[in-house]
Amino acid sequence: MGKKNKNKADEPQQVTKTETEIILDLLEKTLNIEGDVVEFGCYRGDTSVLMKRLLEKQNSEKILWLYDSFEGLPAKTREDSSVAGDQFQAGELLVTKREVIEKFKRNGLRLPKIKKGFFEDLNPEEDVPAKISFAFLDGDLYTSIKTSLKLVENRIEKGGIIIVHDYNNPELPGSSRAVDEWLKTHPSKNLEVKETLAIIR
Ligand SMILES: C[S@@+](CC[C@H](N)C(=O)[O-])C[C@H]1O[C@@H](n2cnc3c(N)ncnc32)[C@H](O)[C@@H]1O
């Protein structure tokens, strides 16, 4: 399931090791596609740092764009209700933008573009790149996933990949709901599920 590794400070907390490997593998496979890389819901920047390291190692000129409220999760809607996921309340997973910046500095990486704010309040023209090759959507909740899918759907390039985290995670049922609803309106898209990753091409 999705939310693991809770006690290992230097390892990704929110994404399992296997999921991280899948994400990095697919990111690498899209390096030849035009467009930038986005992560909606970066939290502490654990996966972000790994993605940026890969981009720098491969001398990629792609820009990494990170998005987070830096106020923690917004309120759940009824689509998110789950006894198993009771711990995911509004304000949970709060970190500061400064913490993410420091993490990149500690890792000797150039800073990505970091946009603070709720996804719903972003200005798509200014805040989201026009072309996207790889999108990692990890906002946990129904509305957050729905909004981030909407922000990337017309920007993802042919051959690009969208990965949504927490698919089939009983703690966060809103993620699957948002993906399934979106797929119904995008019948040309293919879904592959690995671990709790919905891989959309
Ligand atoms: C599970 S964490 C992300 C983990 C991160 N992707 C990683 O790999 O370590 C979810 C993050 O999404 C953010 N988030 C959820 N919904 C959001 C929204 N609607 N707008 C902005 N940020 C949101 C939360 O603040 C939280 O930091």
Is 61 within a domain?
yes
Mean pLDDT of 109-116: 98
Residue 50 and residue 56: Cα distance in Å, rounded? Answer: 10
Ligand 1 atom closest to Cα of 117? Answer: 21
Q: Is residue 1 part of a domain?
A: no
Report yes or no: 170 and 144 within 8 Å, Cβ to Cβ: no
- At residue 74, the 3 state secondary structure works out as coil
Helix or strand (DSSP H, E) at 168: none
| CATH code of the domain in which 69 resides | 3.40.50.150
Closest of 152, 145, 143, 140 to residue 189, by C-alpha = 152
The answer as to whether 141 is a domain residue is: yes
**What SS3 class is residue 163?**
strand
Report yes or no on 133 lying in a domain.
yes
166 lines ligand 1 (CB under 6 A): no
The residues facing 161 across adjacent strands are: 134
H helix runs in the chain, sequence order: 17-29, 46-57, 97-106, 124-127, 142-153, 173-184
Indicate whether 33 belongs to any domain.
yes
Q: How many domains does the chain have?
A: 1
- Please state, in angstroms and rounded to a whole number, the distance separating the CA atoms of residues 67 and 124: 12
pLDDT, residue 26, reads 98
Condensed to tens digits (0 to 9), the pLDDT of residues 155-170 reads 999 999 999 999 999 9
Test site for ligand 1: of 43, 52, 97, most ligand atoms within 8 A of the Cβ:
43
For residue 2, pLDDT beyond 70: no
Distance CA 20, CA 51 (A): 9
What pLDDT is attached to residue 10?
57
What distance in Å separates the CA atoms of residue 74 and residue 72, rounded to the nearest whole number? 7
Please choose, from the candidates 173, 171, 167, 162, the residue with its C-alpha nearest in 3D space to the C-alpha of residue 197: 167
How far is ligand 1, taken at its centre, from the CA of residue 187, in Å?
27
Per residue in 40-81, pLDDT (tens digit) is: 999 999 999 999 999 999 999 999 999 999 999 999 999 999
Which carries the bigger pLDDT value, residue 190 or residue 3? 190
Whole-angstrom distance, CA of residue 169 vs CA of residue 192: 15
* Residue 43 Cα: closest atom of ligand 1: 27
Q: What is the average per-residue pLDDT within 113-131? A: 98
Q: Residue 124 corresponds to which tokens in the numbers above? A: 């798509």
80 lines ligand 1 (CB under 6 A): no
Distance (Å, whole) CA 200 – CA 116: 26
Instruction: Check residue 9 and give its pLDDT.
Output: 60
Q: Which domain holds residue 114?
A: 17-200
Q: Is 68 in the pocket of ligand 1 (CB under 6 A)?
A: yes
Domain membership flag for residue 2: no
For the residues 121-136, what does the mean pLDDT come to?
98
Q: Is residue 5 part of a domain?
A: no
How far, in Å, is the centroid of ligand 1 from the Cα of 192?
Answer: 22
Q: What pLDDT does 86 receive?
A: 86
Do residues 79 and 94 make contact, with C-beta atoms less than 8 angstroms apart? no
4 is a domain residue: no
* Residue-level pLDDT at 13: 86
